[in-house]
Each structure stands twice: as C-alpha cells, then as structure tokens.
Amino acid sequence: MRASAVGLLTGLIAGLALAFGGFGEFLIVLVFGAIGLVVGKVIDGDLDVTRYVGGDRRRSRR
C-alpha cells in the first residue's frame, strides 16, 4: 500500500476518533483526511514541498 493511501486512512481514522456527530464533525474528518493525503504524497515523493519549508535554497553569486 502506498504511503499516500496510508496517510489518507490515518487522517480519516484520526478525524473519526475526534468526532462522532453532525456536519461540523464531518468537516473535521474531511480536514484530517486531506492532511493525511498531503503527508502521504510528500512521503511518496509525489509532492515537493521544499520550496515552502526552506529546503534547497540556491543563492545567486554576483
């Protein structure tokens, strides 16, 4: 199983553990699922976030 699928499942389970109820809780589960999916895609290498977290800084020489 790919890490993105594991991340999505983990996020969904974490969201379900936090919320049992109506529409607001559904949104919490949706947010945790999206976070898990993004983390899984980063682990798989499908999504490059080095630009946003300060990695691979290249300075131009003058």
* Structural domain of 42: 3-53
> How many domains is the chain partitioned into structurally?
1
pLDDT of residue 59: 55
- In-domain check, residue 59: no
- In-domain check, residue 58: no
Token pair in block for residue 14: 């974490």
- In-domain check, residue 60: no
- In-domain check, residue 42: yes
* Distance (Å, whole) CA 18 – CA 25: 8
pTM of the model: 0.60
pLDDT of residue 38: 86
Q: What is the tens place of the pLDDT at every residue in 7-54?
A: 788 778 777 777 677 677 777 777 887 888 888 888 888 888 888 887
C-alpha closest to that of 33 among 53, 49, 19? 19
pLDDT of residue 3: 78
- In-domain check, residue 9: yes
- In-domain check, residue 61: no
